[in-house]
Structure 1
Amino acid sequence: MSEKKKNNPKFTLNSYWIYIPIILFFIALQLFSSANMNSKKLTSNEFTEILKNNDVEKITIITNKSFAKIFIKSDLIDTNEKYKKAKESLYYRKGQPLYEYEFGKLESFESELNKLKESNNLTFDKGYDQETSILDTIFSALPFILLIAIWLFFMRRMSGAGGGSGGSGQIFNIGKSRAKLFDENTKVKTTFKNVAGLEGAKEEVQEIVDFLKNPEKYTKLGGKIPKGALLVGPPGTGKTLLAKAVAGEAGVPFFSLSGSDFVEMFVGVGASRVRDLFKQAAQKSPSIIFIDEIDAIGRARGKNSMTGGNDERENTLNQLLTEMDGFGTESNVIVLAATNRAEILDKALMRAGRFDRQIYVDLPDLNERREIFEVHIKPLKLADDVKLEFLAQQTPGFSGADIANLCNEAALIAARNNKSAIHHQDFLDAVDRIVGGLEKKNKVITPKEKKVIAYHEAGHATVSWMLKYAAPLVKVTIVPRGQSLGAAWYLPEERKIVQTEQMLDEMCATMGGRAAEKLIFNKISTGALSDLEKVTKQARAMVTVYGLNEEVGNVTYYDSSGNDSFVKPYSDDTAKVIDKEISKIIEGQYARAIQILDENRDKLDVLAQKLLEKEVIFKDDLIEIFGMRPFEVKKEAPDTEKNIDTN
């Protein structure tokens, strides 16, 4: 019995319920006090008859509602049968009018009363009054009541969302900080063991952890503990994860919030929240404040001064600058922030004494990707044929978030195919799905279009195979995927710098598809749109960014600060030269691709036919047709590449 009582939900009193009895009370009061309920209405003849009989004691004329209240003499009410029946009404009370009479025009009614009074020697009194009901008052004030109710509703909603620092959701807590606090009660469980790769960034933040754990080690030599560190890097590289790991390692209170949490529609709320955040952090020092996406409030001031819409954001930034500058070295509060748009941040925010350090969190390299894979495959049930080394090679440019998504996608693909474990091919299919899009085998393609697509993709594969610096092929398919009708996957070499010959070889391989169409069919199609976009960007970068063009020279028109958006940094004559050189580079590599394909025409035909038959070909098929790449040092291929499923 006690268990049943425990499980019963507790009755909770809602504050809104108090309005229900109040409304019912006013309705009842209106009903009982209404003249319509208390009195019986008289016709004109009945009113004249009662009046002539001199039974009326008093007539009260309600001037604003065109009716009169008729009071009968008290002695007649108790003796006269007619009046005794009328007073038996449920709503009648002693001293109230027994009847009411609706008249038309007030002047005519008064004139008629005066005539009857004189001609019949009547003794009734006459009075005037005005009457308003409670409901009339409420309805007249209803628009104002609605406006106040709507305003209170929105205030409660906004203040409830803004009371993140222990507030009770009232309007007075709207200026409180929204930061989520992790302390001894809610510890951050993330540590550096959960962060794969990012060795350089981890070394930097490890020192911050040491500052918080052993501040005396540094201050006794006269050093000052850094006030802030800014994590900068592309999306998905683990900036937020790294900040949580710092808090988990340091074991200190950790205040986590986003830059947008300071933004509010009310003036001064953002600055108030900044003050409250730093006040709480100082009370719990040593502690860490982590502001994710700080560019929401840290954008450079005065950029859009014409609109006047940034005043509140700039006030919030000013308060942040003041608080960071006002902290002394003894406060032991370190501010961590993360952004992928460091170039737009205000210079005052970036100066020494505020964010003393900038830690660049770059995309992971080959070894770091392998480490990230090892972290994300731990909860997965893998087959024995999964080769992490090859998967790391197959995912250049993938961030940590992309790799996590890849592992999850592979698990979904394996489950979709009713497998008991995730195989290597499932990971390869997941790469294809993420990079190329969803496979569309039911897309209607005519045999002629299919042949053009096959030669297009075979052209890419042939040219890339024959060029020294082009990325080696892994897989080619003519199965439609995403928005593309065919696709090729390569295994690019990871380079820190790129030379002119390497860029030209990549452009030539990219133009191999259109070159094959021109050579075989003597026609070109719209299928090379993405190829043309890619080579145009590369050629423009060679001429205008990297200074790799002899005609233009060692000049760059790139501005890393991003301030040249509306300014062309060169003359019209230079623009003509740039356009000419871009076209010259692209057309030169197009002609080179046609020449390579012409020299290997027979092998191109064999490769295209095999692609039409199998729809998917791999590196082994190219070795069978072309042999080893002419410039490649002959060495045994890695075991990971031998295990590719070609079925």
Structure 2
Amino acid sequence: MAKENNTNPKKPKFSSWWIYGLIIVGILGFQLLNSGNFASTKTTTTSELQEFLRNGDISKILIITNTNQAKVFLTDEALAKDVHKDVAEKSLLPSTGTIPQYILDFGDLQNFEKQITDSKKENNLDTVVEFDKESNYLGDFLIGILPFVLIFGIWIYLMRRMSGGGGGGAGGQIFNIGKSKAKLFDEKTDTRTSFKDVAGLEGAKEEVEEIVEFLKHPDKYTSLGGKIPKGALLVGPPGTGKTLLAKAVAGEAKVPFFSLSGSDFVEMFVGVGASRVRDLFKQAKDKSPAIIFIDEIDAIGRARGKNNFTGSNDERENTLNQLLTEMDGFGTNTNVIVLAATNRADVLDKALMRAGRFDRQIYVDLPDIRERKEIFEVHLRPIKTAETLDLDFLARQTPGFSGADIANVCNEAALIAARKEKKAVNKQDFLDAVDRIVGGLEKKNKIITPGEKKTIAYHEAGHATVSWMLEHAAPLVKVTIVPRGQSLGAAWYLPEERLIVRPEQMKDEMCATLGGRAAEKVIFDKISTGALSDLEKVTKQARAMVTVYGLNEEIGNLTYYDSSGQSDYGFSKPYSEDTAQRIDEEISKLIEEQYARAIDVLQANKDKLITLAERLLEKEVIFKEDLEKIFGKRPFDSQFEANGEEIIDVADTTEEISEENK
């Protein structure tokens, strides 16, 4: 019995469309019944009609002149005959009029009438012939009104779609198109995120926790003469947890929390964006104290006047002007705090960034090794992991990863373990996940000739050898010649974390990057297109040394870098043609010096380079331990390990790009 009660289907909800459907079915049924289509009426021909007339079976013929149709009624004696047995049966459904036994469609009315008259004279019949016109008032009315109903229905549908709403309510009418689209969160039902769910981001969490404290206990701060901050801007790379922090604020604040995206203000109608800003702040003030969160604010907060070459009215600028007024205008309310998030703070308008609007700019940086461990702890909660899993090791293996990247690593590791039919996720699954995310999908079926494979092995071995022998180059941790993504080989490095970089450090890194092409030159006396990504990297580094950081003696202590971004809209270079030529010469000179230096290093260690490449060809993947067996302990390791956190980076890979494509 309990099982039957649990499986009872839910009752369908009532809909107004049911009424419309019943009305339509009723009209159609009335039409069908009135027309007699459900009766036992048969269609006949002119020849059969003549035969019926000769036999005296017809009592009346009703000719409908406007439809060229004749309705034939039989006598009672004729209905008793076997030939009319089919039409003698009575209809199962009621009818509003007399039902004919036969219906005939004729062509010309005069010819048809003459045939009937002749048959009556020849057979001396008293058959009644009547003429009539048939009218369907309901059908004509429906046909006449149907186009207007369709037009009216389409107009209502379009208006509802443009207003962003479905049925009735605040957003369901065209007059409410300027209403805000912000979602109001209820801390009891809509969100369960708290500051405990936000791992790392210690400095950013302290800032937003203080904002929440402002709203909970404002007297604590205002009693000393302080003012509650009007806004906080969360800035940082993608995936670092800016939106997650805002969700945690929504869960912790216990005050009304309005959430929307910057693109929600943008609409096809002029003035809608500014109207929505006004409505948003009006709602927030009515429920103050409250928090407004605008995600991706750069959609409306971009600097004004830079891209408006046409001189026309810019809807986005009007929206931004209204936002500036609402945040710190003549009559603003201080009980509304605005949180915003963006990863493009450099394009925001200066008026939006000033104190009094966004009093605090909270930089949400990429997590360090300790914060990455905390993030792993959060994302590993729902995953079944092996007991021997070392979180410190995983944190060291994911340098430069954001919180979103670490979440992706955990999910990818679980998928890999499930693909291998494992009961728990272990260390190797996480390493495979990191390789999959950083290097791409492993392509085991890629066809590589033995000659190409040998070239790739020596190329990667050249990177490893040069980086191992230079003091400031990052030592190599892992090398692989297994194709992944667009790359044919990859190398993982362990560079130290530096806040400032000196010229000798940059030169050592450039030399190690050019070690791949140098190895091809030393071993084969030929070079290939596989060093494309290496050349791109060293060219950018050399150009930065000369034109950005002022590390070149020939050019001097000059920089042509503009942090304000104004140079992006300029039409001329900030230096002369002569200086441009000297810059090109210094860049080329710098790169060629490091290339020659890499060749010298490899020439001095050619036997070890060959041994390393052969082992790489044999195993396809080698680690730091293999390098120590060949080269011995690296003399710089003790000094390097004391400098700071260990970080693994991915070297520029040997890309399979033909000369024709480039």
The TM-score, its normalising length taken from structure 1, stands at: 0.80
Matches within 5 A, 1:442-481: 442-481=445-484
1:37, CA displacement in angstroms? 12
Percent sequence identity is 71
CA shift in 2, pair 1:102/1:447, >3 Å: closer
1:366, CA displacement in angstroms? 2.9
Aligned to 1:621: 626
Alignment of 1:610 onto 2:612:
no
Aligned to 2:597: 592
Give secondary structure in 2 for the equivalent of 1:224: coil
1:370, CA displacement in angstroms? 2.9
Give secondary structure in 1 for the equivalent of 2:568: coil
1:453, CA displacement in angstroms? 0.8
Moved more, 5-14 or 538-547: 5-14
Alignment of 1:22 onto 2:23:
yes
Which deviations, in whole Å up to 9, do the C-alpha atoms of 1:148-205 show, x marking residues without a partner? Answer: 4344344445656579xx9476336654433333335337433333222222222322
Answer yes or no: is the 8 Å Cα contact 1:285–1:331 preserved in 2. no
* Matched letter for residue 8 of structure 1: N
| Equivalent residue for 1:583, pick from 588, 591, 616 | 588
Which deviations, in whole Å up to 9, do the C-alpha atoms of 1:547-606 show, x marking residues without a partner? Answer: 323333312234442651563423444333333322222222111111111111111111
Alignment of 1:561 onto 2:562:
no
1:631, CA displacement in angstroms? 4.3
Aligned to 1:535: 538
1:611, CA displacement in angstroms? 1.0
| Structure 1, gaps ≥5 residues long | 47-58, 70-78, 83-87, 110-126, 642-647
Aligned to 2:218: 215
| Equivalent residue for 2:296, pick from 288, 293, 296 | 293
1:4, CA displacement in angstroms? 4.7
Which deviations, in whole Å up to 9, do the C-alpha atoms of 1:68-123 show, x marking residues without a partner? Answer: 99xxxxxxxxx9999xxxxx9999989999x99999999999xxxxxxxxxxxxxx
Alpha-carbon distance in structure 1 between the residues aligned to 2:285 and 2:234? 22
Matches within 5 A, 1:113-124: none
Aligned to 1:54: none
Alignment of 1:170 onto 2:172:
yes
Alpha-carbon distance in structure 2 between the residues aligned to 1:184 and 1:478? 52
Answer yes or no: is the 8 Å Cα contact 2:165–2:173 preserved in 1. no
Alpha-carbon distance in structure 2 between the residues aligned to 1:362 and 1:134? 73
CA shift in 2, pair 1:568/1:403, >3 Å: farther
CA shift in 2, pair 1:154/1:7, >3 Å: farther
Give secondary structure in 1 for the equivalent of 2:184: strand
Answer yes or no: is the 8 Å Cα contact 2:467–2:474 preserved in 1. yes
Give secondary structure in 2 for the equivalent of 1:564: helix
* Matched letter for residue 593 of structure 1: A
Answer yes or no: is the 8 Å Cα contact 1:557–1:569 preserved in 2. no
Aligned to 2:606: 601
| Structure 2, gaps ≥5 residues long | 50-61, 79-88, 113-130, 647-662
Which deviations, in whole Å up to 9, do the C-alpha atoms of 1:473-523 show, x marking residues without a partner? Answer: 101111112211111100111111222221111111111001100111111
Aligned to 2:228: 225
Moved more, 493-502 or 460-469: 493-502
Aligned to 2:8: 8
Alpha-carbon distance in structure 2 between the residues aligned to 1:61 and 1:410? 81
CA shift in 2, pair 1:321/1:107, >3 Å: farther
Aligned to 1:369: 372
Which deviations, in whole Å up to 9, do the C-alpha atoms of 1:19-66 show, x marking residues without a partner? Answer: 2233234435555777999999999xx9xxxxxxxxxxxx99989x89
Answer yes or no: is the 8 Å Cα contact 1:539–1:586 preserved in 2. yes
Give secondary structure in 2 for the equivalent of 1:255: strand
Alpha-carbon distance in structure 1 between the residues aligned to 2:413 and 2:38? 78
Aligned to 2:420: 417
Answer yes or no: is the 8 Å Cα contact 1:479–1:485 preserved in 2. yes
1:405, CA displacement in angstroms? 1.6
Answer yes or no: is the 8 Å Cα contact 2:479–2:492 preserved in 1. yes
Moved more, 551-560 or 449-458: 551-560
* Matched letter for residue 277 of structure 1: L
1:242, CA displacement in angstroms? 1.6
1:533, CA displacement in angstroms? 1.7
Aligned to 1:72: none
Answer yes or no: is the 8 Å Cα contact 1:460–1:509 preserved in 2. yes
Answer yes or no: is the 8 Å Cα contact 1:225–1:329 preserved in 2. no
Answer yes or no: is the 8 Å Cα contact 1:547–1:556 preserved in 2. no
Superposed CA RMSD in Å reads: 4.8
Which deviations, in whole Å up to 9, do the C-alpha atoms of 1:616-639 show, x marking residues without a partner? Answer: 11111111111223445479999x
Aligned to 2:118: none
Aligned to 2:654: none
Give secondary structure in 2 for the equivalent of 1:190: coil
* Matched letter for residue 487 of structure 1: A
Alpha-carbon distance in structure 1 between the residues aligned to 2:332 and 2:407? 39
Answer yes or no: is the 8 Å Cα contact 2:34–2:95 preserved in 1. no
CA shift in 2, pair 1:562/1:188, >3 Å: farther
Give secondary structure in 1 for the equivalent of 2:487: coil
Matches within 5 A, 1:107-506: 134-135=138-139, 138-139=142-143, 145-156=149-160, 161=165, 167=169, 170-171=172-173, 174-186=177-189, 188-305=191-308, 311-326=314-329, 331-383=334-386, 385-506=388-509
1:266, CA displacement in angstroms? 4.5
CA shift in 2, pair 1:272/1:3, >3 Å: farther
Q: Which has the higher contact order (CA 8 A, sep 6+)?
A: 2
Answer yes or no: is the 8 Å Cα contact 1:545–1:555 preserved in 2. yes
1:230, CA displacement in angstroms? 0.7
Give secondary structure in 2 for the equivalent of 1:549: coil
Answer yes or no: is the 8 Å Cα contact 2:270–2:315 preserved in 1. yes
